[in-house]
Structure 1
């Protein structure tokens, strides 16, 4: 068995595989550990900004392996279903089985060692190394560990960075990838592949979505923790509603529906400690409004790899040295998450219908809101600019001013 790895990464999703690839390309000895065997499924919408493919250019040669299309028009529905906001904001869609496998394969191609079907049951951070205990009885020693192991991260718990999520900070979801004939998808969602978000379905704080893909339609619903009871029954009601509206074929097959938990309450206070960093869902790097986090996870993976590479070379993996990781990811994308949490509160409050009414009267505001719903859009407006625009629309309507 290998005596000492440079870095062990727990979790081979978008964050872990991205981090592993960058570290291996920098010349480090990396092992990527996951409890599943790839390819594996993950309950998720599978929608992300197409900017990811440009930003992580090595994915361009792999689009045939994972890309299921580009949805070109987003539609956001009000809780009372009377108002729908439309905007042209492109979103790439993929089956997570294929997308995550492509990222995993890219890491392996870069020279990353892997350990699949391996459950981590313990993590010990010592003065000179980290020891990882597997359920098989094996142990792995490394100089640093990355926790990219999802919302129930054992690395976060064992290091004390996050013992447990509060109920109010998570959104339980129900998701299904529904098989649909391509001809029917074209008829229901047009060649533009219109995707839909539904605010507060059944008057419960949360969101529903429909993402049309190549041969499937991904449907999901999430309800904020304190109100998330009876989710399987609510999901069936949502499916029935979509069938009635002609957005799904009658008697759609939802036998593959699965549950998931998304950390939508914002990021944890600290994502690094002695010889350890956290990323992705393990750190709460998720858009609180939509539950999307693929883009954030990959950005964090790249940043984390650069930080660890530098400090491995300097032989300094102290808590103080790794603080820079927190600073860098917060500067690159973390500053968006707090304001988005405020938007989430507005969109799950009693003011939601009023917000839709305001938005229906202004094309520019619709574009701004639609942009916020996506990941990694460089033109994404700030929360303050959205609030300012909404105020402008209210004043304009009140005084019958000309549109600007």
Structure 2
């Protein structure tokens, strides 16, 4: 517990999924926690809000937070061919992201955490015996002392550098808009350079005849989104936007080290994101639970040196690293292929009994893409397809 010389045991910098869950887990273990966030409405970050059934099982959502269950998707190739993927049970859920993330904050507060909203982190100073964080709001600045800090500020913040940590070296931009969409019965995914060069675009129906239309791209994401919406309007799938489009950064690789003296980074700030899709909610929640477990032990032993906190990185990498590395290597490879090549591969994936068995494989997972990628490239069908295109698979994918 914090003594009179500390404002808290742990200062959590950021109130997204990772920060709120870290605060919840630490507060439940009896530690005094303060969460700092610049926003007034927690969870108000642009995101599709799509999470897996596995995520919901591990981190349940209230029924009111679930907008829609998804058990199928239609994937469109660059030249207009399609693959329809369907499972008997829901594979994903489209959530009210703001409400879902805020629910973790409410439970953290019930467990004893304090929240400072509409406060900006101005500095983070790591000392041998403490962490000092200066925050400010319209009333002025104040400094707080804690035994440790969790950096959970999302991607693109200066806070990780303040805390002596790095930043993700590769990232893309996501762009999304909510539209009226009476004619989109299921999730649609669009692949091709006219949609999103090197990545993909989507339409995800939510509720009440609305959908989220978005994409990922390295450049010109806003312009590509405008073109996509017009294209979908011309096809009669969507109507006018409900509100203005928004953009956000998505890390594709983790930072070089996610811990240091009295500090741990989690979620987007640590680059804990699925490289294939840019999704990060589930990985953030898993990592924040591991962070809390590591910090709980370190606080009780009063040992917050880097060596004592390094078990956190070993824990999350044991679960996520292999999958992230395979998916990232596959992502980089696909970025080099033209539309005709991608279309050829997708036709192979959609037009045979072997392909059907692949889509029904237990390795097909909403969260663990690396497993499916490795299963896919080892099939005779896909090995032949890559040879026909003279594509050399990266070592991380082919092994």
- Shorter-chain TM-score tier: 0.7 to 0.9
Match of 2:142 among 134, 138, 143: 138
1:35 has 2:38 as partner: yes
Structure 1 residue 376 displacement after superposition: 6.0
Q: Which has the higher contact order (CA 8 A, sep 6+)?
A: 1
Q: Cα deviation per residue 1:19-39 (whole Å; 9 max; x = unaligned)?
A: 110100000001111110125
The 3-state SS of whatever aligns with 1:188 is coil
**What TM-score results when the alignment is normalised by the length of structure 1?**
0.85
Q: Cα deviation per residue 1:40-63 (whole Å; 9 max; x = unaligned)?
A: 52111110102222112xx35x23
1:385 has 2:375 as partner: yes
Q: Which residue of 2 aligns with 1:217?
A: 211
CA distance in 2, matches of 1:40, 1:300: 17
Q: Which residue of 2 aligns with 1:200?
A: 192
For the 8 Å contact 1:172–1:259, the answer to whether it is kept is yes
CA distance in 2, matches of 1:256, 1:368: 39
1:15 has 2:18 as partner: yes
Distance 1:392 1:263, change over 3 A: closer
Match of 2:331 among 344, 355, 375: 344
CA distance in 1, matches of 2:279, 2:179: 20
Q: Which residue of 2 aligns with 1:402?
A: none
For the 8 Å contact 2:81–2:347, the answer to whether it is kept is no
Distance 1:355 1:211, change over 3 A: same
Structure 1 residue 370 displacement after superposition: 9.3
CA distance in 1, matches of 2:233, 2:51: 25
Q: Which residue of 1 aligns with 2:116?
A: 115
Q: Which residue of 2 aligns with 1:279?
A: 266
Q: Cα deviation per residue 1:286-332 (whole Å; 9 max; x = unaligned)?
A: 11111101000000011100000011000001011111000000112
The 3-state SS of whatever aligns with 1:322 is helix
Distance 1:376 1:48, change over 3 A: farther
1:353 has 2:343 as partner: yes
The 3-state SS of whatever aligns with 1:27 is coil
**What TM-score results when the alignment is normalised by the length of structure 2?**
0.86
Distance 1:85 1:344, change over 3 A: farther
1:332 has 2:315 as partner: no
Q: Which residue of 2 aligns with 1:401?
A: none
Distance 1:201 1:238, change over 3 A: farther
Q: Which residue of 1 aligns with 2:308?
A: 321
Q: Which residue of 1 aligns with 2:184?
A: 188
Residue segments in structure 1 that go unaligned for 5+ positions in a row: 399-404
Q: Which of structure 1's runs of 4+ aligned residues deviate more than 4 A? A: 367-370, 390-393
Q: Cα deviation per residue 1:209-267 (whole Å; 9 max; x = unaligned)?
A: 1111123311111102xxx03x3222111001122333323xx1154211111112x21
CA distance in 2, matches of 1:370, 1:352: 22
The 3-state SS of whatever aligns with 1:371 is coil
CA distance in 1, matches of 2:63, 2:184: 25
Residue segments in structure 2 that go unaligned for 5+ positions in a row: 389-399
Moved more, 289-298 or 202-211: 202-211
For the 8 Å contact 1:358–1:390, the answer to whether it is kept is no
Q: CA RMSD in A?
A: 2.4
Moved more, 321-330 or 206-215: 206-215
Structure 1 residue 353 displacement after superposition: 2.2
Structure 1 residue 392 displacement after superposition: 5.8
